[in-house]
Amino acid sequence: MVTRLSVNINKIALIRNARGSNLPDLVQVAKDCEKFGAQGITVHPRPDERHIRYDDVPALKPIVSTEFNIEGNPTPRFLELVLAHRPHQCTLVPDDPQQLTSDHGWDTIKHEGFLKDVIAQLQEAGIRVSIFCDPEAKYIEGAKKTGTDRIELYTGPYAEAFAHAPDKAIAPYVAAGQFAGALGLGLNAGHDLNLDNLRFFSQQVPHLLEVSIGHALVVDALYYGLEDTIGRYLNCLSI
């Protein structure tokens, strides 16, 4: 099984928004990412729309030919957007409104009832659901009880520890992958994965279906170009 690469294009939108124009053209970049081999496109609209705007979603939905993944905090406005445009996957993330970036998974025990209701709405609309989750057995078990299809492991701690202690950094994610597989949950991962740490992660973590990568990939594209960069990330995933 080869893990799929979904490219998060939020940072492309951030560059576009800096000048108030349509450069770079977000729709064209999404098309090019797929042409260069990406197996999915991810967007994460936040309330302040500082990168992906809510009106980007209806423009992107018809042209994404691989997998369209919308992630975010399931506020009423967010859910209205997702249900109106029905992506292939919706990833639920417990972001605060002013949060710079996602930095923790759901407390699936505390929020079980809320997540159950949201997940049921999305699944009824034919949308696969993944929820952002820390690599802890109690939260993964809690995720199973919500009815979610998949979990997305928050990989920030792994990325931070990888350089000086890769075996220690990966250990909880290996255990999480094994546990998720035993429970029948699909497994995604994302946050601060890059060309240095991605191959090791994908080689070690079992049942890994998909990674979502944005910031590091866009930074690398400044040096290597978008096509070469996507090829490098795909190579990391071709175990």
For 211, other C-beta atoms within 10 Å of its C-beta total 27
Q: What is the pTM of this model?
A: 0.94
Residue 55 CA to its chain's centroid (Å): 20
In this prediction, residue 98 carries a pLDDT of 58
Does 152 have pLDDT greater than 80? yes
> Tens digit of pLDDT for each residue in 106-115?
999 999 999 9
Q: Classify domain 4-237 at the CATH superfamily level.
A: Aldolase class I (3.20.20.70)
Half-sphere exposure of 173 (CA within 13 A, CB side): 29
Are the CB atoms for 128 and 78 separated by under 8 Å? no
Does 219 have pLDDT greater than 60? yes
> Tens digit of pLDDT for each residue in 27-38?
999 999 999 999
What pLDDT band is residue 97 in, cutting at 50, 70 and 90? Answer: low
What pLDDT band is residue 5 in, cutting at 50, 70 and 90? Answer: very high
> Which of the residues are catalytic?
44, 71, 191
Does 102 have pLDDT greater than 70? no
Mean pLDDT of 101-120: 89
Half-sphere exposure of 105 (CA within 13 A, CB side): 27
In this prediction, residue 109 carries a pLDDT of 96
Mean pLDDT of 139-152: 98
